[in-house]
Structure 1
Amino acid sequence: MDLRQLEQFVAVADTRSFSRAAERLFMAQPPLSVAIRKLEDEVGVALFDRGPRGVMLTAAGQAALGAAVRCLASARDVAIAAQAAANGETGTLRVGFIGSLTFSLLPTLIQHFRGDHPQVRLELSESTNEGLLGMIESKAHDVAFVREPTTHPAHLTFMTVADDVFCVAMPAHHPLARQRKVRLKDLRDQDFIGYTPSRVGGLHAAVMHLLHDANLSVKVAQEAVQVQTVVGLVRSGLGIALVPSINAEFMPNDVVFRPIADLPASSRIGIALAYHEQNANPVLPRFVRNIQDTLQLESRRR
């Protein structure tokens, strides 16, 4: 039997009439009668008692009716599920992010998306810029939040989601902590906590570019990969560091953050959403649009 036969059976059962069922199904009555006979032959029992006043379900037909209705509903669910997945309303999205983003922007963006798309499963994982870009290129991740500046492979799309600037992180007892703002020349010959070099750029490249343009030499005492690790080393009294200002309000109280008064415009940093231009995951366009809408909403609130 097929779904068409079940639809015909349910129509006859509902209307108790072959003629009225045929009208509902937009078909002639004789072919409908033949189809029901074939269905009865297939199941091996009579489904209807046929009489001058119409047709009535037999006991077997009554039992079959419930099963037929459920079967048709399940078939509709199959179509609905397939359409929802094709439209990106359901499915899975693999999202990578840099660790320092968990203190600021990421929770807001993820909460908004989950609120609007509760049937989408998000798989989140933390890594470095280099690791994230590699996973986007290999399509092990669908999308990633990466720190800028970074390399931009031609086949990847980058969408800026946050602009930022460097500020100076220092122990609370540091002499520069008494100043409301710090000038770049104040950093000269300071013990410095830097970032581990990466082949894709990132914060190490941005800091080195800034120091070079300012003709500053610093004594790099330690290096670390993540912003929170750098701040932890500052907290330990090992030196000062340049860190993204977006993270400052989420860091320990015994670390002081000061803006840089003469920071050149060319030293701007930020966060970008990166994804492969050939990624066919139908959830991805919905995620990108949702991020854009959330950022616009947050901008209006400010």
Structure 2
Amino acid sequence: MELRQLRQALVLADTLNFHRAAEQLSMTQPPLSTSIKKLEDELGVLLFERLPSGLRLTQAGDAVLRNARSALFFVEEMRRAARESESGERGQLRVGFVGTAAYTLLPGIIGRFREQYPHVDLVLEEGIGSDLLQRLEDHELDVALVRFPIAQPDAVRITPLMREHLVLAVRHDSPLAGNDQVAIADLTDQPLIISSQSRSPAMYALMLRVFEEAGIQPRIVQQAAQLTTALGLVESGLGVAMIPLLAAKYVGPDIRVVALSGLSENLLSGIALATLPGLITTTARNFCEHAMGVAT
């Protein structure tokens, strides 16, 4: 078995087409077919079903290729380790982050990290928390700054960096806009915009627990995958939205932010580091140390 065969099988699994896979691999189709057949013979299992409509990955193939992806990851890590010093002062670091981290922790972390490690190539990629966690598991990111609470995959370690209360974002002409604070019970009849259940299930659950503890049924009119979407809907007059406190200073001029009274300490959100234990590079570990230093 050769690494070349594993890479070929992964490309074929992505395309499920020998011709397209061969093009991506800069080779012709016959030697690719031969290589995949030899790999299947060596493993003693069928990786792909050859159907009239095309290829389909078998259950055994799915299991084998998951391990192949990990194997290639470790090989690449060995190559990266050979190129970098033990101190992690060189190389590339792929950092994912949610938008609210850019408002708060990220600038300070990046500034301090660049000062100490000027030769590290930082690749910063913004995204939604659930997508960032998946990319971390797929080894497409080295570390991520995500919002918590979050429906955390078993493989990912979540380390909270900062915690904050939720506040209420309302349109400037709302009857609530002039209040210093609002009780959750006062939101009974208010049209509410909350985090998306499919994209941010833990944040969605947190917001529902806020109302559950207050003993009221929220009037949910819209779910939003991102904070900017929720704020845009508030500005349009669709409803009110609960947002993280530190994001409040970045709302538009037509939105007012009102404190929520009576929230218990277990109803907090915040920013956390997400890493893969056992797979973290020296450079990523250095970044995490800087992140925790900025947060304290």
TM value normalised by structure 1 = 0.67
Alignment deviations for residues 18-57 of structure 1 (CA, whole Å, 9 cap, x no partner) = xxxxxxxxxxxxxxxxxxxxxxxxxxxxxxxxxxxxxxxx
Q: Is the 8 A contact 1:100 1:228 kept in 2?
A: no
Q: How does 1:234-273 map to 2 (within 5 A)?
A: 234-273=234-273
Deviation at 1:83, TM superposition (A): 8.0
Instruction: Work out the CA distance in 2 between the residues paired with 1:241 and 1:200.
Output: 15
Aligned to 1:141: 141
Q: Is the 8 A contact 2:211 2:217 kept in 1?
A: yes
Instruction: Work out the CA distance in 1 between the residues paired with 2:154 and 2:185.
Output: 38
Deviation at 1:237, TM superposition (A): 1.0
Runs of 4+ in 1 over 6 A off after TM superposition: none
Q: Is the 8 A contact 2:162 2:272 kept in 1?
A: yes
| 1:94–1:253 Cα change, 3 Å | same
Instruction: Work out the CA distance in 2 between the residues paired with 1:231 and 1:199.
Output: 17
Instruction: Work out the CA distance in 2 between the residues paired with 1:200 and 1:219.
Output: 19
Q: How does 1:113-124 map to 2 (within 5 A)?
A: 113-124=113-124
Aligned to 2:101: 101
| % identical equivalent positions | 31
The one-letter code matched in structure 1 to 2:215 is N
The one-letter code matched in structure 2 to 1:204 is Y
Alignment deviations for residues 237-271 of structure 1 (CA, whole Å, 9 cap, x no partner) = 11101111110011112211111111122211111
Deviation at 1:100, TM superposition (A): 2.6
Query: Whose radius of gyration is greater, 1 or 2?
Result: 1
Aligned to 1:66: none
The one-letter code matched in structure 2 to 1:107 is P
Aligned to 2:87: 87
The one-letter code matched in structure 1 to 2:227 is V
Instruction: Work out the CA distance in 2 between the residues paired with 1:116 and 1:251.
Output: 33
Q: Does 2:169 match 1:172?
A: no
Instruction: Work out the CA distance in 1 between the residues paired with 2:273 and 2:187.
Output: 32
CA RMSD of aligned residues (A): 1.9
Aligned to 2:131: 131
Deviation at 1:202, TM superposition (A): 3.3
SS in 2 for 1:118: coil
Instruction: Work out the CA distance in 2 between the residues paired with 1:275 and 1:287.
Output: 11
Aligned to 1:46: none
| 1:208–1:229 Cα change, 3 Å | same
The one-letter code matched in structure 1 to 2:241 is A
The one-letter code matched in structure 2 to 1:244 is P
Q: Is the 8 A contact 1:166 1:243 kept in 2?
A: yes
SS in 2 for 1:202: helix
